[in-house]
Amino acid sequence: MSIRLQIAAMLFLMIQAVMFFTAILFLLLSPLARDAMALMPWVVASTVAVSLPLSWWLAPRLRARTWRREGTMELLK
């Protein structure tokens, strides 16, 4: 198991939690709240679909060698 995959797996859990909370909050505070149970699988699937590539993209940027080589502004490049 590569280091990138390990970091991405840990990031995925955190990103997924934040994305899921945001999506559920939006769902329950909108007029769609009466259909919340029917829309719940869509919320879960969409947050997974967003969290996976985002965590994979962020994982190499959290390695110590990246911070030493690129500096703190690497994320903005």
For 11-28, the pLDDT digits (tens) are 999 999 999 999 999 999
Exposure on the CB side of residue 43, measured as CA atoms within 13 A: 20
Element (H, E) at 69: helix 64-70
pTM value? 0.77
Residue with tokens 């690129």: 70
Q: Are 44 and 16 in contact (CB under 8 A)?
A: no
Cα 41 to chain center, whole Å? Answer: 17
Q: How many residues does the chain have?
A: 77
Query: Over the stretch 57-77, which tens digit does the pLDDT of each residue have?
Result: 999 888 877 666 666 665 555
- How far apart, in Å, do the first and last CA atoms of the chain sit? 28
